[in-house]
Amino acid sequence: MQITIDIPDDIASQLEPLKDQLPQILALGMQELAANPSTGFSGLTEILEFFAQMPSAQEILNLRLSPSVQADIEALLEKNRTEGFNDRDRQLWQHYEFIEHLVRLAKAQALLKLHQAS
């Protein structure tokens, strides 16, 4: 597929030496956009940042969603009840399910660790 876009001259001059790598650059940019909290999906970012802090087993068991992520989930559930999901909503819901799965696994491991320690 061929796509033509207009971009500012300063960006065009930066891209000129990289023109053979444009498909990879665009793919990475799209991945970054999808992972960016400002795009409306910050739940995974928050969880990853939490786990990156190497929390204790008890901190993992105490982990709760932030109020903003909880509100996003509740709004999505309400939309599903009233209007139904579009493709983007369905994808977002699958992300939240994945996060829930990761957190449940972490909490199960944390509980085992606490039981083994006592």
Chain position carrying tokens 């929390």: 55
* Residue 91 counted as domain residue: yes
* Residue 108 counted as domain residue: yes
Q: What percent of the chain has pLDDT over 70?
A: 89
Give tens-digit pLDDT for 3-50: 888 888 888 888 888 888 888 888 777 766 665 555 555 577 788 888
* Residue 30 counted as domain residue: yes
Per-residue pLDDT averaged across 101-109, rounded? 93
CA pair distance 60, 62, nearest whole angstrom: 5
Confidence (pTM):
0.61
Contact predicate 16/22, CB 8 Å:
no
Number of domains in the chain: 1
Q: Which helix (H) or strand (E) is 115 found in, with range?
A: helix 87-117
* Residue 3 counted as domain residue: no
* Residue 4 counted as domain residue: no
* Residue 1 counted as domain residue: no
Q: Which domain holds residue 103?
A: 9-117
Instruction: Report in angstroms the alpha-carbon separations of 38 from 67, 87, 99.
Output: 16, 19, 18
Provide the total of helices (H) and of strands (E) in the chain, helices listed first.
6, 0
DSSP 65: -
